[in-house]
């Protein structure tokens, strides 16, 4: 009986660990300057699809404060707004932060610029934490 209980506990532990483990299938790992690792989708998508794609990886769309720690939610679209990601890669990615009606914050990693754009536009990548 004791072996059965230990076996069942082990099965539950392994199943729980496997289900909670984040993946990056259909994407690649990006490392920010502060060492934070993100999963970037291989395809561009709109903001709503980015949420769904990250969830399919057992992740969530990256929080702006994790992408750009210590940076206010400025929308100046100025080079260097997000030094944590500036120059890390050459693409723009959605954050989970909504801006005004119909807009969401995105970061362009090549320049580090932060801006907001329409959530329905399909030309940014998902960046998941």
Q: For 41-66, how does the pLDDT look when each residue is reduced to its tens digit (9 = 90+)?
A: 999 999 999 999 999 999 999 999 99
| pLDDT tens-digit map of 89-111 | 999 999 999 988 889 999 999 99
Is residue 34 predicted with pLDDT exceeding 90? yes
Which single residue is written with the structure tokens 């699809």? 49
Segment 27-53 shows an average pLDDT of: 97
pTM across the whole model = 0.81
Q: Which CATH superfamily is domain 24-128 in?
A: Mannose-Binding Protein A, subunit A (3.10.100.10)
Q: How far apart are CA 53 and CA 65, in angstroms?
A: 20
Please report, for residues 4, 75, 81, 111, 120, the alpha-carbon distance to residue 99 in angstroms, rounded to integers and kept in the order given: 53, 9, 16, 20, 13
Q: How far apart are CA 129 and CA 109, in angstroms?
A: 16
């Amino acid at each position: 009986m004791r072996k059965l209980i230990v076996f069942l506990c082990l099965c539950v532990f392994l199943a729980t660990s496997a289900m909670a483990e984040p993946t990056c299938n259909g994407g690649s790992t990006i490392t920010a300057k502060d060492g934070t690792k993100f999963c970037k989708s291989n395809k561009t998508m709109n903001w709503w699809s980015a949420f769904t794609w990250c969830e399919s990886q057992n992740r969530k769309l990256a929080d702006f404060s994790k992408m750009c720690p210590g940076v206010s939610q400025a929308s100046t679209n100025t080079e260097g707004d997000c030094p944590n990601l500036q120059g890390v890669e050459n693409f723009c990615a959605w954050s989970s932060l909504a801006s005004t009606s119909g807009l969401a914050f995105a970061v362009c990693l090549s320049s580090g610029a932060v801006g907001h754009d329409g959530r329905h536009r399909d030309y940014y990548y998902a960046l998941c934490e």
